[in-house]
Amino acid sequence: MPTATAPSPYKTSTGSSTGPNGKAGSHVDFNAITDQQFLRAADHMKLEDEIQLRLRSPYREMVVQVPVRMDDGHLEMFHGYRVQHNGVRGPYKGGIRYHHKVDLPEVRGLAALMTWKTAIVGVPFGGAKGGVTCDPTSMSRAELQALTRGFMQKIDLALGVYRDIPAPDVGTNAQVMAWMMDEYGKKHGYTPAIVTGKPVNLGGSLGRDEATGRGVMIITVEACKAYGINLKGAKIAIQGFGNVGSWTARLIAKLGAKIVAVSDVHGGIFKEDGLDVDKVLEHVKATGSVVELSGTRAIDNEELLTLEVDVLIPAALGGAITKQNVDNVKAKLIVEAANSPVTPEADEALQSKNIPVVPDILANGGGVTVSYFEWVQNLQQFNWSHQKVIGELEDRMLRAWKAIHARSVEERTPLRIASYVEALDRVAQATRQRF
Ligand code: NAD
């Protein structure tokens, strides 16, 4: 039986990613992280070797070149990826990331996370992820559109409403999804269900924009109850103020918690008695960043992670909490809104300090859950009300939390192992039934 120390069947990352702890050169190997978590859980549940073999590696990987004529006339060659990890429970599902550090191992690790996440929230999808190595912040709208259409043409052959359905992730948004849908439609006819996270008037679902943050909020409420933290008045720090971080801040502040610190790629802000989240949002809209909001103290991303708070919510990129900074973390609870923000070494250190960590595959499953609702609405050509979407989302997130928390208590195992075991159990069962 493979053990946690067994080498990955895949060559790991070149370590090109720099985590949002801001440390230049900190090497985060997402595929190795996911692989290690998989092996720990497989070992814990004594998963049979053949099932491990089938579930550990991806089903299909595509690497494509995407030439784009840039605004100044020169030709730029981008590289894009789509990894389909596992499809035994349904069509492959996962976001598309535009970021200058995206590479195949990162996409591979994120694709596996999607397989476990869709299983945990109980939606009938498998796991996939995609990405293009680019810096969307330095590209014009025309360049981004050309890149998106070119990428879509290249991965078209692996996609399908019942085969593989992309969605937004870091650096992509509803507009990018609209271009992807439009490009797919040129060849296949009007097919809104080919992507989720679209603009609402093009078949997107009400509540999709806020879905991941809302799911993080629901899980944070439950985790606070379970670990004896009174959310009313609790101090919360959130790293990353994009889609997920900003919605999480907004929704948790409404429950009476104090969002004492938030940050983005440019830096962070702190206010002891709690930030006015609406003001932060207005400031971001006006300036493009949270930094320099009047009445707040400037902090950097590293300081944010080490603040004395009740709940720390990393909601930026992976590799935020590592063995280098974990000893300085003082939060009582960590909720992983981002994917892989805590490295396995840091995870073990937090465990030995008795700081519970709610893992990504449970905490941020709200996005893919409402993506599923969007897909269902597109297939039925029927729109749900916002109330119905958030009611169904809450129902599924609570069911996932209850199953995993119960397993964690019964098996005296951290939430991360309990989550992986729950996910592997469901995917393994479907695998045994199929083969
Ligand atoms: P986004 O692009 O909207 O926002 C990312 C935020 O992180 C921005 O505020 C950005 O400035 C900040 N950031 C980037 N680099 C940083 C750094 N080095 N230090 C500090 N902050 C940094 O992305 P998002 O959609 O909010 O996704 C955030 C995380 O949540 C990612 O890990 C993503 O994979 C995960 N996630 C997103 C969804 C979703 O529905 N959008 C679903 C599940 C998981």
Does a structural domain hold residue 329?
Answer: yes
Query: How many Å lie between the centroid of ligand 1 and the Cα of residue 339?
Result: 9
Question: What local confidence, expressed as pLDDT, does residue 145 receive?
Answer: 98
Q: Could you tell me if the CB of 171 is within 6 A of ligand 1? A: yes
Atom of ligand 1 nearest to the CA of 245: 26
Does a structural domain hold residue 253?
Answer: yes
Question: What local confidence, expressed as pLDDT, does residue 14 receive?
Answer: 30
Q: What is the DSSP string of 319-358?
A: --B-TTTGGG---SEEE--SSS-B-HHHHHHHHHTT--EE
Could you give phi then psi for residue 40, rounded to 5 degrees? -60, -45
Q: Could you tell me if the CB of 363 is within 6 A of ligand 1? A: no
On whether both 292 and 168 belong to a single domain, the answer is no
On whether both 66 and 150 belong to a single domain, the answer is yes
On whether both 232 and 305 belong to a single domain, the answer is yes
Does a structural domain hold residue 410?
Answer: no
Atom of ligand 1 nearest to the CA of 197: 40
Hey, whose CA ends up nearest to atom 27 of ligand 1? 170
Question: What local confidence, expressed as pLDDT, does residue 380 receive?
Answer: 97
Q: Are 128 and 94 in contact (CB under 8 A)?
A: yes
Catalytic hit among 93, 117, 129, 332: 129
On whether both 175 and 221 belong to a single domain, the answer is no
Whole-number Cα distances in Å, 22 to 62, 109, 300, 357: 30, 21, 9, 21
Question: What local confidence, expressed as pLDDT, does residue 30 receive?
Answer: 83
Does a structural domain hold residue 375?
Answer: no
On whether both 333 and 259 belong to a single domain, the answer is yes
Atom of ligand 1 nearest to the CA of 21: 19
Question: What local confidence, expressed as pLDDT, does residue 309 receive?
Answer: 98
Q: Could you tell me if the CB of 170 is within 6 A of ligand 1? A: yes
Does a structural domain hold residue 379?
Answer: no
On whether both 112 and 243 belong to a single domain, the answer is no
On whether both 92 and 222 belong to a single domain, the answer is no
On whether both 105 and 237 belong to a single domain, the answer is no
Domain boundary among 139, 161, 191: 191
| Residue 129 bears catalytic tag | yes
Question: What local confidence, expressed as pLDDT, does residue 28 receive?
Answer: 67
Domain boundary among 132, 163, 191: 191
Question: What local confidence, expressed as pLDDT, does residue 11 receive?
Answer: 31
Does a structural domain hold residue 388?
Answer: no
Which segments in the chain show pLDDT lower than 50?
1-19, 22-26
- CATH number, residue 27: 3.40.50.10860
Hey, whose CA ends up nearest to atom 33 of ligand 1? 338
Does a structural domain hold residue 205?
Answer: no
Query: How many Å lie between the centroid of ligand 1 and the Cα of residue 410?
Result: 33
For 203, the 3-state DSSP assignment is coil
What span, in angstroms and rounded, lies between the C-alpha atoms of 433 and 394? Answer: 30
Residues 369-409: tens digit of each pLDDT: 999 999 999 999 999 999 999 999 999 999 999 999 999 99
Domain that holds residue 223: 211-355
On whether both 161 and 222 belong to a single domain, the answer is no
Single-letter amino acid code for the residue at 238 = I
Atom of ligand 1 nearest to the CA of 290: 9
On whether both 309 and 227 belong to a single domain, the answer is yes
Q: What's the total number of domains in the chain?
A: 2
Q: Could you tell me if the CB of 241 is within 6 A of ligand 1? A: yes
Does a structural domain hold residue 231?
Answer: yes
Q: Could you tell me if the CB of 301 is within 6 A of ligand 1? A: yes
- CATH number, residue 296: 3.40.50.720
Q: How many Cβ atoms are within 10 Å of 425's Cβ, its own excluded?
A: 15
Question: What local confidence, expressed as pLDDT, does residue 1 receive?
Answer: 34
Q: Could you tell me if the CB of 315 is within 6 A of ligand 1? A: yes
On whether both 231 and 348 belong to a single domain, the answer is yes
Hey, whose CA ends up nearest to atom 3 of ligand 1? 242
On whether both 227 and 174 belong to a single domain, the answer is no
Domain boundary among 336, 355, 374: 355
End-to-end CA distance of the chain: 20
